[in-house]
Structures are given as C-alpha cells and as structure tokens.
A and B are shown apart, each in its own frame.
Chain A
Amino acid sequence: MGKSEVPFIEVKNLKVHYTSEGRKIHAVNQVSFSLQKGETLGLVGETGAGKTTIAKSILRILPEPPARIEDGEIFLEGTDLLKLAEDEMRKIRGRKIAMIFQDPMTALNPVMRVGKQIAEGIALHEKVSAREAEEKAKKMLEMVGIPGSRYRDYPHQFSGGMKQRVVIAMALSCSPDLLLADEPTTALDVTIQAQVLDIIKNLQKEFKTSMIMITHDLGIVAEVCDNVAVIYAGQVVEYGSREEIFDNPLHPYTIGLFGSLPDINSDVERLSPIMGMPPDPANLPGGCAFSPRCPYADETCKNTDVKLDAIDGTHSCRCLHWRRTAQMKAETS
C-alpha cells in the first residue's frame, strides 16, 4: 500500500499482547499501515478491537507489564520508535506525536491547574521560560475557545466539553507532527461532539498535523479521514481510502458496520446489527477471526490463515471471499 516515497509514519507487523491472570490476551496481531504527512487515517472497530493499543504502542505508553510489544516496527520518518532509548522517546512524545484521550473527565490531573498542565509540556519541549510557557498555554486555551483567564482554574471547574478542549489544547501545544485522537468525542454530549470535532479539524489544518483518528463512529470517519483501516480482533481487516471503504466495502465486517448504521434516506429498512459477540482475545478462533460471526463463512474460512489481499489502488481486504462479495454487490446494484 505504500507510495514511492518514505511514508511519514509506518507501522509494520505490530504485535501486542497483554497478560491477565495468567492468560495471554492477543490485543494486536500483525497490524501494518502507513500514513503520509498531513493525512488523516481513521482506525475503526468495536471496543476491545485493539485500536487504542495501537495508538499507545506508537507513543510507547502501554503499561508494561501487563502489555508487551512482541514484534513489529514503527517508523516515524524512517526511525524505528520501538528501538529508541526511553529518553529519546520522551523527546518525541508530546512534541512530535501527541495524543487526545477518550475520556476528558479522567485525562486531566485533578489537582493541577489546567494552564499548568498545558504549560508543562511546552516548557519541557520548547525550552522556554515558565513565563513564556504560560503565555503560550493561555494562547492555546484561547485557541480552543476557553478564555485565558481560566488558566488558574482546576479541571473540576470545567464541563466535559471544556475539559476535552483543554486536552486538545494540551495535545496541540507543541505543534506535533502526528496527532493520535482516541475517540475524542465519545464521552461527550452529542451537541458538543460536533464542536469539538470542528476544533480538531480546524487546528489540524492550521498546524498541518497528520492524524490518526480512532473511532467507532463511521460518521466521524466520513467527516475527517482520508484513509480508513477497519480493525477487528487486533487485525486490519480492510484498508482503503475513505471513498473506497465507504463506496465499496468488501469485508463482511465492514459491510456489517455500515448495515448497522441507520439510513436516514429510507425509513423502512431496519437496523441490521452484526450477530454474535466479538471474539475472546485470549482465545481467538482459528482461521478468519470473524468467521464465527460471518454470515458468509464456510469451512475454509475456519481453517485458513487469511492474508490481507490488495484489491486496487490503496484498497485491501482480509477476506477469502471478497471477490464473491464484490460480485454479489455488483449484481444487487
């Protein structure tokens, strides 16, 4: 899926597992993808599919133990982050790669003034005086729509949406090259979701930041992403540009995701949820991980290790029967 030049970030064969109560939980299995400068990649999938683990692996902030990166490489502009010394890595965190967390309620230190929490990163990476860091932090606050006078307030004095703005300001404070946004709107009220998303989009444009947007919300993907990787049971099951995925989903899981999206154009068709439950990550089924839930699965699916198959352009799919699916689609339309 690569273009000719070196991608801005490239994840190759990433494999991560957790150990919990003696059981090995395979959270990420051989995930690969890449991203060009300025682009946005959407990681889509159910809770527990391993999206957050991928993001945290890139920043190397997984709790080790119980988590362990078993295998793989993560190149940022050609350097393998996984091989960097911890203090080298620290210079990258916050400065080159920053992250917005899912739950703004818990992502802020409750006993530290919010301004200080923003200024802390600035002072660390930009080698400026405390005063300058404070000025910049105030500017960042204003940029996300919070008056700079609230620099000295504590997180509990903010509402959820405001907190997420603070988190965003914090993440963008050192103009990172890559922003990892982990479900930045999930914990927010619907009305606020749009505002926050707008802020992210605008700032991304302003700072020309690349972004990996983690979400289970296809609406957000449609709105912000250039490319999409659909994750299931720690694997990329389908990858492609936004158009490719939205116009021509080929993996039964992706199709299922779209099927469970309410169609505002037709009020007749009911939601068709994906049957069954996500697999137990400690005990993944053999063959295609999705096979137990797949309406099209046959015996071969359960026995064969399925490879990610290139389709055309950037589009690829991890399904033995994608051709059949494509055919069926062509027939129905």
Chain B
Amino acid sequence: MWKYIVKRLLWMIPVLLGIAIVIFTIMYFCPGDPAASILGNSATPAAIEEKRIEMGLNRPYMVRLLDYLNQVFLHFDLGTSYFQNQSVMSGILYRLPYTFMIAIICMLLQILIGTPLGITAAVHQNGIADRICMVIALAGVSIPGFWLAMMLVLLFAVRLGWLPPYGVGGLQYFILPCIANAFAGIASQARQTRSSMLEVIRSDYIVTARAKGLSEREILYKHALPNALIPIITVVGNGMGMMLGGTVVIESVFSIPGIGMYTTSAINNRDYPVVMGGVLFLGALFSLIMLLVDVIYAYVDPRIKAQYEGQQKSWKRRKRANG
C-alpha cells in the first residue's frame, strides 16, 4: 500500500509540471497584460511598455516558462503577486481555510443528506419516497447555484434576519453559502447513491444475505451500502475537488475571500503568479484528494487493495495462507 501511495505521489510531479505548462501557456496567450493593469486606466502606452520591461514580460515564451518552472519546481517558490507584494503561497494559505471550510461542510452535508436520500429512494424504488427524493435531487442539479444563493439571502438574511447575508466570521456565516453550494452536491450524491444501491440491491450476494435470515436493515447497511460505496466515494471526491476550485460564484455572492475568488480576480488582473500558483496549488490538492479517494477505495474494497499491492505480494499472501 505504501509503495502504491509513494508511486502515486511521484506521479504527481509530472502532472503538476504539466499543469504549470498548460496554465502558463494559456496565460501567456491571454491578451492584456499585468503592466497595464498595475498602471491603471490612464497610463500611456510608453509607460506600460517600460513597466513590461521592468517586470520581464517582454522576454520570449520559453525563457519565461523555464524561469517559472525553475522557480516553482527547483526552488519551491510560487512567486510574488504583482499586485499584493505578498508571496503567492502565503496568499493561498491565508484563503485556504475559508475555501476548505466551505468544501468540508458541503461535503458533510452532501454525505449526510444525499446518501440517506439516495438509499431511501433505492429501497422504495418507484414508490412515493423514491419520487420525492428524486424530485429533490433533480431540482438540485437543475437550479443555478447563484440563483439559489440569492434567493436564500433574500429569505433567511433579509426577510427572516436569521443569518448574516455575507462575509466571514463564525460558523453562522458559512450556513447560507454552504447550503447554496451543497444543494447540487446533495442532489448528485442522492442520484449516485440511488443508482449504485439499485445495482447492488439486485446482486446475488444480497439474495444470499437475505437467505441467511438477516433483517433488511442489516442487509442494507452491512452488505449493500459497503458495496455501493465506491461510486458514492467517487462522487464525494469529485465534488470535493470541484468545490475547492469551483466556488467562485458562491464566494462572490457572499463576499467570502476564498481561493476561487483569489484566482479568478487574478485572471482578470492578469496577475500571472497568482493565477499559476493558485491553479497549481488546486491541482496538487485535487490530485491529493483523488489519491485519498483511491486509498479509501482500497479500504472499502479489498479487491482494489489487492490490485494496488500488486501480483507478487498477494501471491505471497496466498502461499502463506495455504501453507
């Protein structure tokens, strides 16, 4: 297992290198330049050109790319923001807790609400409960997130005054953004849980379990759910990965200083170091989460674990067991 994890961690290096090259290239070809952005609207072209030279933006593509890769991968330095005089890393680390908080709460909501909904729907397939759960789920994936967010603000913050409409602070500040953000996640979780539960419920081993005399509850939680978990975990992992970078809109509605906003406004400002650093960081985080998901797979499904551990080891194991 450890060998597998180390191997996967090593694989991350070329992936991150690739991300760096891709995003650098996209930003390189982006029209507009940070020099103009820094100097503001009324800057003359001559002043902009001078600033470009000072910032090294006039150097050729390859030189800048290699310089950047050298800086990031050999000196572990994501650089300094053009605008904030602050290292990109500390900028990211500062904002990470907010984004992470939202992602974690959303993930919990997604698991705690979406999974039971999906199970209920699957158990009562085609019944009323199924219909209700699926209508909720379909609505969830169909409603634009920011629309829901603003409706929630109008209701809970403005009309009822129960919750703060924006900003960061205590836990209560995270309630509305998380609900708005988690709705789609809950919905897709419920759908995925339902369909994988349906598939599992029809499996032979569920019949075997039933033939043993186990109660439906035991069958559901001891036999069906563990088997249905793999696709469910995939959805959770993907959702988590997406939420880390994809909460831009929610962050914007609720004025939350998260990584999404940080990176998006940097794209608008052409603050290259921040864009590249942010995307790289999120990419690394995403890769780590995917690794975690795969490790959880192995924990949940011994077949996958055996696959990771490779032929040789499992052969040894069998030999030991037999002998």
Contacts and interface: CB of A to CB of B under 8 A. Distances in A.
Q: Do these two chains interact? A: yes
Interface of A: 56, 59, 61, 63, 87, 90-95, 98-99, 101, 103, 106-112, 120-121, 124-125, 147, 149-150, 153-154, 156-157, 167, 170-171
Contact of B205 (A59, A98, A109): A109
Contacts of B212: 93-94, 98, 120-121, 124, 170
A134 to B, nearest CB: 16
Given A103-B204, A149-B321, A157-B314, A110 B303 contact: yes
Contacts of A98: 211-212
Interface string B199-224: 00011110111111111000000110
A95 B214 CA distance: 11
Contacts of A106: 203-205
Nearest to B201: A63
B50 interface: no
Given A111-B302, A157-B318, A61 B210 contact: yes
A154 to B, nearest CB: 4
A111 B300 contact: yes
B302 A61 contact: no
Given A110-B227, A149-B321, A157-B318, A59 B211 contact: yes
A98 B303 CA distance: 28
A150 B223 CA distance: 20
Chain A CB within 10 Å — which of B205, B211, B322 has the most?
A: B211
Given A59-B211, A110-B303, A121-B213, 20 more contacts: A61-B211, A87-B215, A93-B213, A94-B211, A94-B213, A99-B211, A107-B207, A109-B205, A109-B209, A110-B227, A112-B222, A120-B214, A120-B222, A147-B322, A149-B321, A153-B321, A156-B303, A156-B306, A157-B318, A167-B208
Given A147-B322, A149-B321, A157-B306, A101 B213 contact: no
B204 A101 contact: yes
B322 A112 contact: no
Interface in B301-315: 301-303, 306, 314
Interface residues of B, number: 27
A124 B321 contact: no
B226 interface: yes
A90 B204 contact: no
Contacts of B211: 59, 61, 93-94, 98-99, 101, 171
Contacts of B202: 63
Contact of B213 (A90, A149, A153): A90
B301 A110 contact: yes
B208 A107 contact: yes
Q: Which 10 A-B pairs have the closest CB atoms?
A: A94-B213, A93-B213, A106-B204, A154-B302, A94-B212, A121-B212, A109-B205, A99-B211, A156-B303, A61-B210
A150 B323 CA distance: 11
Nearest to A102: B204
Most chain B CB atoms below 10 A, which of A63, A111, A156: A111
Contacts of B210: 59, 61, 93
B222 to A, nearest CB: 8
A108 B269 CA distance: 58
A5 B300 CA distance: 52
A170 B208 CA distance: 9
Contacts of A120: 212, 214, 222
B208 A112 contact: no
Interface in B102-119: none
Nearest to B210: A61
Contacts of B205: 106-110
B7 to A, nearest CB: 22
A114 B69 CA distance: 51
Contacts of A103: 204
A58 to B, nearest CB: 10
Nearest to A103: B204
A106 B223 CA distance: 13
Residue of A110, A149, A150 with most partner-chain B CB within 10 A: A110
A110 B226 CA distance: 10
Given A109-B205, A147-B321, A124 B213 contact: yes
A109 B306 contact: no
Contacts of B214: 90, 94, 120-121, 124
Nearest to A62: B207
Interface string B260-281: 0000000000000000000000
Contact of B227 (A90, A95, A107, A111): A111
A111 B301 contact: yes
A90 B210 CA distance: 8
Contacts of B207: 56, 61, 101, 107
Of B202, B209, B222, chain A has the most CB atoms within 10 Å of the CB of B209
A106 B207 CA distance: 10
A107 B206 CA distance: 8
A147 B318 CA distance: 12
B318 to A, nearest CB: 6
